[in-house]
Copies of this chain bind each other. A is one copy, B any other.
Amino acid sequence: MQMNIKKIAEMAGVSVSTVSKIMNNYSDVSEKTKKRVMEIIEQTGYSPSNSAKTLATKKSNLIGVIFAGELNVEFTHPFFVEVLNSFKKQMGVLGYDLIFFSNEKFISSGDYYSRCLHFNVDGCVIISGQKMEPAIRDLDMSSIPCIGVDLELRGKKSGYVMSDNVQIASKVVEHFYLLGHRELGFIGSTADSDISNQREAGFVKAVESFGLTLNRNWFVHGDDFFESSGYTAMRRLLESGSSMPKAVFAASDLLALGAIRALKEQGLRIPEDVAIIGCDDIEACKYTSPTLTTIRQNKERLGVLAAHMLYDLINNQSDGGSFVVEPALIVRESCGSRLSG
């Protein structure tokens, strides 16, 4: 039977105040009555209504999860999904559950701030990788604690986590350089993506710092971070009539996979004709042919950091800030080796 605090109080012969105090371990209730009431609570499996509790306390123990941007980066992108998985687990340990806002237009799409108020979330995490949009900025500037994943939030109750994209790019270029490659290309996502832009900028910087010459013809872009974008981008490069780079850095593993498909289709061999490095280190890297050399983002750590930062923000033990985590080169087959390449 559906229980509520009043029924528990009646069954125990105490007032609702007393039951409430027991549930929230106040000190002004005797051990004797506490035990009696607890037994009844156990028997009945009573769990206080979160709505009522939220209404009274203004704390919901709920964290809002927002997939921002037009890109269909919902549960489909392996990188974000893994970060989210780690985040969820950690947030659970900290005592919070997650609520996912649906993005459907008819719900005054994009008005994230009012949706946070509507659900009274204690904080939220925004998953993006795209440029800032107005709806996000409103949230960022509000007093609701927010953590961006791959999104630079700078509000007074905000913070963010991401990998060091400049370092990602420089590790790539260094690896290519050591393997003897001098003609380097880049495949990025849309110009709306901060992440892609940062990797591109880092790539350019690294190429120059190694004294190599840049060939802008070897820079191509897709519409998102997915496989088909990598494919079409590479096709465009192939059909451009320009010469081909000997090594290509793709801003995501899926982009790399798509590029490889286009290359193979053209009869080119990986890594003999073109070497490829991806980014993220998603699971699939291990199963592809060739297996994909990539830069690993520490997804588990990103999720845990996001959770702890958010927790601290919610409990006023922090003023936000950011964590940038170290990437790591994972060498597999798609670049060959000095000897073979």
Q: Which residues of A come within 8 Å of B, CB atoms?
A: 2, 45, 47-52, 54-55, 60, 62, 74-76, 78, 81-82, 84-85, 88-89, 91-93, 95-104, 106-107, 111, 113-115, 117-120, 227, 257, 260-261, 283-284, 286-290
Contact = CB atoms under 8 A, between A and B. Distances in A.
A310 B92 CA distance: 26
Contact of A227 (B89, B287, B288): B287
In order of increasing CB-CB distance, the 4 nearest A-B pairs are A289-B289, A92-B102, A92-B104, A51-B54
A52 B118 CA distance: 10
A124 to B, nearest CB: 13
> Which residue, A95, A111, A118, A288, has most C-beta atoms of chain B within 10 A?
A118
Contact of A97 (B93, B99, B117, B261): B99
> Which residue, A102, A106, A113, A283, has most C-beta atoms of chain B within 10 A?
A102
Contacts of A92: 102-104, 107
Contacts of A85: 74-76
Contacts of A286: 227, 261
B97 A45 contact: no
Contact of A75 (B51, B75, B114, B115): B75
A24 to B, nearest CB: 15
Contacts of A89: 74, 102, 104
Contacts of A261: 286-287
B102 A50 contact: no
A74 B261 CA distance: 30
A36 to B, nearest CB: 21
A165 B257 CA distance: 31
Contact of A51 (B100, B120, B284): B120
A145 to B, nearest CB: 15
A283 B227 contact: yes
Contacts of A62: 99
Contacts of A45: 111, 113-114
A111 B103 CA distance: 30
A259 B95 CA distance: 39
Contacts of A119: 50, 97
